[in-house]
């Protein structure tokens, strides 16, 4: 995959559309000779020219830069490891994704379908073993079958039975068959509730895919939110008061789809929710055009995506791109400090930092991950080289898990992968809403991760610039793919190593 460069991709896409070099070069506003150099990797290409060529070739930047294939390869590898397939390594996964991207997508879809089916089977199994109604129905079915079989055998094996007995036994078989069919129907009705919700893929995963495909950056939302903010800024009053005024002026109908947040929410949450209500009401066409994407295959996925892009637009409204990036750079990406300046929560600011991917005006590339206390992961966004887990759990040593034990500040970790790559992990425990007495608190841990090469640009890198191994935490991606056989936190044996030694340190 390393040899399949951006230049070669441009050439392949151009030839596929039967376009000459001269034709494409003319439309892109460059010379044919320069395009020739680009296609043969003699010149680097990026920024607006690459975007223009992507448009002319009716594709997107990610396709030309190869990040789509990298993601596919990463997903294929992760699934292969989750399935315990030791023969598939990174190179093979990359070759597969590069040569057969459509098959790789089908493979990923099939895995999701398999996983959904597996989860459904477990749920049904639990239900069958624990639900008294199901137990009773199963017993009834078995009793009917027993009676039918027994009388059928009697009729077959006892030729001398009298006419009246024969008639009676035949009637019993008929009646019991009818009752058996009725019991089976009851069983189907009972289990139908569980089966009806089963889908081949989960909406959450479709939305994750959708965001990853767009590199978590949506220029049309940035532009629309920017125009909306500019309109507010021309009016007197603060942005907050402008938003509140506009919401009050909106009709009840316009507000209906995005209910107001409960009063006990933190101020940052209320403000964000107001901004989201506003963009839902004022930018419906932009939001809908963004989610008009064939990666979103179900109504549930489209609804979920709509909520997510509304949140994106709300963040773009509250945290305008240029100003936010400038502030982030000045504050050296101190999330709490940026949050204080823009009145945003840790999670809101962290999430916005990940979206700073505008070509030519990019911030530090961050990966993002959120976990609940049980280790259920959500909102995974990867960066080049660091894959955020989507299938199965992450390494238990990651800061995203340790952050639950520290409530008042972010924790920082210099994480070293088994292959030697080093990343800064910044994680913080966040409370989603204040709990009333007796109500369980909703808490998550939010983590940003970046290559250690950026540590001098971010405040969390202070103290980690010296190359001291005592500061490092040896981690992996997850137990299945990790080669650290001596890890005390190991939950599963690694698939890449065979033998008793590799199996022997599984934590009880």
Partner 1 sequence: MARSVLIAEDEPYILESLMFLMSRAGYRVRAERDGAKAVAAAVHSQPDLMILDIMMPTLNGFEALKQLRATPGLEALRILVLSAKGQEADRRRMMALGADSFVTKPFSNKDLLATVETLIAEPRAKPANAASDTS
Residues that bind partner 1 (CB under 8 A): 138-139, 142-143, 145-151, 153-154, 157-158, 165, 172, 176
Nearest approach in angstroms of CB 116 to partner 1 is 29
Nearest to 273 by CA among 379, 369, 345: 345
Nearest approach in angstroms of CB 146 to partner 1 is 4
Sheet containing 422-433: give its strands across. Answer: 377-381, 367-371, 442-451, 422-433, 411-416, 472-474
Q: Which is nearer to partner 1, 158 or 264 (CB)?
A: 158
H/E segment holding residue 502: helix 500-503
Nearest approach in angstroms of CB 160 to partner 1 is 9
Q: Which is nearer to partner 1, 89 or 165 (CB)?
A: 165
Q: Which is nearer to partner 1, 31 or 146 (CB)?
A: 146
Tell me if 447 sits within 8 A of 369, measured CB to CB.
yes
Nearest approach in angstroms of CB 391 to partner 1 is 33
Q: Which is nearer to partner 1, 157 or 251 (CB)?
A: 157
Q: How many residues does the chain have?
A: 508
Nearest approach in angstroms of CB 162 to partner 1 is 12
Nearest approach in angstroms of CB 173 to partner 1 is 9
CA 421 – CA 451 distance, rounded (Å): 8
Tell me if 402 sits within 8 A of 395, measured CB to CB.
no
Torsion sign, CA atoms 393, 394, 398, 403:
negative
Q: Which is nearer to partner 1, 118 or 165 (CB)?
A: 165
Nearest approach in angstroms of CB 118 to partner 1 is 23
CA 414 – CA 296 distance, rounded (Å): 36
CA 99 – CA 124 distance, rounded (Å): 39
Beta carbons within 8 Å of 150's beta carbon, 6+ residues apart: none
Nearest approach in angstroms of CB 185 to partner 1 is 20
Nearest approach in angstroms of CB 153 to partner 1 is 4
End-to-end CA distance of the chain: 40
Beta carbons within 8 Å of 178's beta carbon, 6+ residues apart: none
CA 108 – CA 304 distance, rounded (Å): 20
Nearest approach in angstroms of CB 131 to partner 1 is 16
Give the other-Cβ count within 10 Å of 208's Cβ.
19
Q: Which is nearer to partner 1, 150 or 289 (CB)?
A: 150
H/E segment holding residue 369: strand 367-371
Q: Which is nearer to partner 1, 44 or 129 (CB)?
A: 129
Nearest to 356 by CA among 458, 239, 462, 228: 458
CA 304 – CA 487 distance, rounded (Å): 38
Q: Which is nearer to partner 1, 44 or 174 (CB)?
A: 174
Q: Which is nearer to partner 1, 137 or 448 (CB)?
A: 137
CA 80 – CA 100 distance, rounded (Å): 16
Q: Which is nearer to partner 1, 140 or 503 (CB)?
A: 140
Tell me if 346 sits within 8 A of 352, measured CB to CB.
no
Q: Which is nearer to partner 1, 34 or 151 (CB)?
A: 151
Nearest approach in angstroms of CB 165 to partner 1 is 8
CA 180 – CA 475 distance, rounded (Å): 57
Q: How far is CA 22 from CA 14, 18, 25, 501, in A?
A: 11, 12, 5, 61
| Phi and psi at residue 281, to the nearest 5° | -80, -40
Give the other-Cβ count within 10 Å of 12's Cβ.
14
Q: Which is nearer to partner 1, 145 or 204 (CB)?
A: 145
Nearest approach in angstroms of CB 172 to partner 1 is 5
Beta carbons within 8 Å of 417's beta carbon, 6+ residues apart: 386, 423, 475, 476, 477
Q: Which is nearer to partner 1, 153 or 501 (CB)?
A: 153
Q: What is the 3-state secondary structure (H, E, C) of 374-427?
A: CCCEEEEECECCECCCCCCCCCCCCHHHHHHHCCCCCEEEEEECCCCCEEEEEE
Nearest approach in angstroms of CB 149 to partner 1 is 4
């Amino acid at each position: 995959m390393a040899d399949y460069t951006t230049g070669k991709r441009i050439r392949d896409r151009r030839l596929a559309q039967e376009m000459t070099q001269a034709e494409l070069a003319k439309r892109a506003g460059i010379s044919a000779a320069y395009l020739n150099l680009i296609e043969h990797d003699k010149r680097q290409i990026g920024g607006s020219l690459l975007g223009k060529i992507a448009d002319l070739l009716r594709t997107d930047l990610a396709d030309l830069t190869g990040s789509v294939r990298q993601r596919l390869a990463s997903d294929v590898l992760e699934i292969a490891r989750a399935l315990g397939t030791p023969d598939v390594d990174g190179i093979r996964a990359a070759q597969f994704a590069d040569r057969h991207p459509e098959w790789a997508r089908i493979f990923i879809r099939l895995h999701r379908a398999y996983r959904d089916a597996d989860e459904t089977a477990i749920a049904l199994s639990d239900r069958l073993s624990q639900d008294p109604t199901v137990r009773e129905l199963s017993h009834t079915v078995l009793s009917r079958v027993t009676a039918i079989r027994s009388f059928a055998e009697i009729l077959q094996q006892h030729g001398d039975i009298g006419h009246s007995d024969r008639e009676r036994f035949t009637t019993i078989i008929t009646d019991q068959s009818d009752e058996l069919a009725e019991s089976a129907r009851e069983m189907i009705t009972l289990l139908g509730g569980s089966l009806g919700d089963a889908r081949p893929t989960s909406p959450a995963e479709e939305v994750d895919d959708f965001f990853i495909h767009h590199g978590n950056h949506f220029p049309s939302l940035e532009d629309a939110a920017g125009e909306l903010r500019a309109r507010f800024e021309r009016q007197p009053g603060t942005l907050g008061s402008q938003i509140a005024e506009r919401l009050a002026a909106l009709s009840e109908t316009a507000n209906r789809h995005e209910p107001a947040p409960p009063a006990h929410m933190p101020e940052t949450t209320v403000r964000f929710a107001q901004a989201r209500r506003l963009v839902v009401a004022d930018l419906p066409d932009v939001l809908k055009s963004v989610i008009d994407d064939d990666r979103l295959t179900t109504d549930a996925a489209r609804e979920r995506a709509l909520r997510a892009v509304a949140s994106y637009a709300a963040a773009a409204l509250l945290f305008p791109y240029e100003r936010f990036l400038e502030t982030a750079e000045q504050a050296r990406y101190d999330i709490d400090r940026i949050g204080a300046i823009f009145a945003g929560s840790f999670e809101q600011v962290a999430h916005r930092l990940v979206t700073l991917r505008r070509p030519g005006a990019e911030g530090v590339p961050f990966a993002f991950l959120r976990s609940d206390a049980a280790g259920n992961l959500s909102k995974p966004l990867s960066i080049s080289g660091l894959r955020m887990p989507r299938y199965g759990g992450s390494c238990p040593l990651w800061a995203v898990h340790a952050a639950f034990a520290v409530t008042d500040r972010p924790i920082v970790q210099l994480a070293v992968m088994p292959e030697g790559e080093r990343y800064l992990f910044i994680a913080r425990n966040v409370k989603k809403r204040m709990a009333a007495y007796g109500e369980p608190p909703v808490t998550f841990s939010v983590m940003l991760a970046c290559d250690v090469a950026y540590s001098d640009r971010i405040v969390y890198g202070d103290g980690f610039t010296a190359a001291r191994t005592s500061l490092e935490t040896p981690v992996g991606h997850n137990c299945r793919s990790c080669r650290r056989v001596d890890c005390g936190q190991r939950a599963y044996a690694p698939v890449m190593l065979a033998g008793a030694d590799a199996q022997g340190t599984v934590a009880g």
